[in-house]
Amino acid sequence: MTQKLYIQTNGCQMNEYDSDKMRDVLKASHGLEITQNPEDADVLLLNTCSIREKAQEKVFSAVGRWKKIKDKRPDIIIGVGGCVASQEGEAIQKRAPYVDIVFGPQTLHRLPELLNQARRGKQKVVDISFPEIEKFDSLPEPRAEGPKAFVSVMEGCSKYCTYCVVPYTRGEEISRPLNDVIAEIESLAQQGVREINLLGQNVNAYRGEMDDGDIASFSLLLHYVAAVDGIDRIRFTTSHPLEFTDDIIEAYTEIPQLVSHLHLPVQSGSNRILSAMKRGHTREDYLQIMEKIKQARPGISLSSDFIIGFPGETDEEFEDTMRLIEEVGFDFSYSFIFSPRPGTPAAEFEDAIPMDVKKQRLERLQTRLTEMTQAISKSMIGTVQTVLVEGVSRKNPLHMTGRTENNRAVNFAAHPRLAGQFVDVLITEALPNSLRGRLVESSVEKIVQTA
């Protein structure tokens, strides 16, 4: 009888990518099939994220619910992976002794053996080591699911921003060899993938070894990816301003496959706060990058991350962030109230800002960002957008859905056979979280003629 695997994923796109690889390695080794119901699973895995507030408590809340399943079926295996697992290690099992396996982001490829160990000896298994690039060398062949795919090109971060746990949970920056990345993308392209999203905690810090011993920069990687037959759209996340170099900006003039959207976290518009965060760049540095990228790709959509209420942030320093938003003209962005992460320097900073003040600031910032997002969406009405058709719309089975270059979901009436194709769509309506459109028939005729 086929055994089943349930994975709950918290956090970023890197975690989503890692969860897919957990599924792949356990299917290859043990034939485990994914289930959407934890009650049916023989193996329960929680892939954790330590970025959000109360991350540890959320872990124990989740596995606490699974304990009830294990009480009924003692043979099931409960595993906790990801960044919280890397941080807490054996402490997870001391507090929740019913957890069988604890593993870090860099050891997910060892899951088959960890599972065997847990089943053989009923012993508690912990592996939160940092074996560098070994993880990628040990994964099964990439498997495409639809026309889009994520490809991790590097792991970790060496920037040590004072608020961030990533260097401690995922290690310092390690890049995959260039040929390995391109081989994975070529395999995905042969399976019908048309859009690649390159992933890394600090993706533009990529420094991949080449066959001749030279090191490939991130901009060179972009050129290699663009040369892969079948890949017509390239995204990447997440970048750091400190290494958003001129050759990457120049790539926007040279590589049409690069989408007209850039997500570049700034976190604050105040130079004093940026220094306290140890970001390594100033407000002026960031604005200069924005000016250059707009020149290289006119009309590009720009988004960012913001931390509000960082310890010591004054009213005027918050206003610096609001002014930065207006100067850049951001599209959709992500913003959060500062919450201290255990083990980071900022967790020890004196934080005298009242929570109601932080909430007021966040609400004001998010309101303005939403207004800017909606204005851009409305400005798209009447324009023709190139959309990669992903599949049937969840809201209407007679409609298809896809995304524009600036990452907006569009729903429109079309035949399911268009899935995986690029089509032109006339935007007719802007809704709060998506667009509606009408298929431009001439783009479908091109597809039929070239099929």
The beta-carbon contacts of 115-119 under 8 Å, at least 24 apart in sequence, are 115/26, 115/29, 115/30, 115/43, 115/77, 115/79, 118/77, 118/79, 119/77
Instruction: Measure Cα distances from 151 to 5, 198, 236, 292 in Å.
Output: 23, 5, 9, 27
The 10s digit of each residue's pLDDT in 363-401 is 999 999 999 999 999 999 999 999 999 999 998 999 999
- One-letter amino acid of 246: D
The 10s digit of each residue's pLDDT in 245-277 is 999 999 999 999 999 999 999 999 999 999 999
Q: What tokens does 397 get? A: 């089975």
Q: Give the integer Cα–Cα distance in Å for 191 and 447.
A: 18
- One-letter amino acid of 113: E
Q: What tokens does 50 get? A: 């330590």
Instruction: Measure Cα distances from 127 to 115, 124, 263, 419, 436 in Å.
Output: 12, 10, 33, 41, 48
Q: Is the peptide bond before 314 cis (omega within 30 degrees of 0)?
A: no
Mean pLDDT of the chain, nearest integer: 92
pLDDT class of 120 with cuts at 50, 70, 90 = confident
When pLDDT is averaged across residues 421-450 and rounded to a whole number, the result is 86
- One-letter amino acid of 250: E
For residues 124, 125, 129, 131, the Cα torsion angle rounded to the nearest 10 degrees is 170
Beta strand pairing call for 301-303 and 261-263: parallel
Instruction: Identify which of 67, 68, 72, 138 has the alpha carbon closest to the alpha carbon of residue 99.
Output: 67
The 10s digit of each residue's pLDDT in 279-332 is 999 999 999 999 999 999 999 999 999 999 999 999 999 999 999 999 999 998
The 10s digit of each residue's pLDDT in 16-73 is 889 999 999 999 999 999 999 999 999 999 998 877 666 677 888 889 999 999 999 9
The 10s digit of each residue's pLDDT in 197-243 is 999 999 999 999 999 999 999 999 999 999 999 999 999 999 999 99
- One-letter amino acid of 337: I
Give me the pLDDT at residue 34, please.
95
State the distance between the two ends of the chain, measured CA to CA, in whole angstroms: 42
% of the chain exceeding 70 in pLDDT: 96
Highest mean pLDDT (candidates 161-170, 287-296, 331-340): 287-296
In degrees, rounded to 5, the angle at the alpha carbon of residue 288 between the alpha carbons of residues 282 and 292 is 150
The pair phi, psi for residue 416, each rounded to 5°, is: -55, -20
Instruction: Measure Cα distances from 105 to 30, 36, 57, 128, 292 in Å.
Output: 20, 22, 19, 8, 35
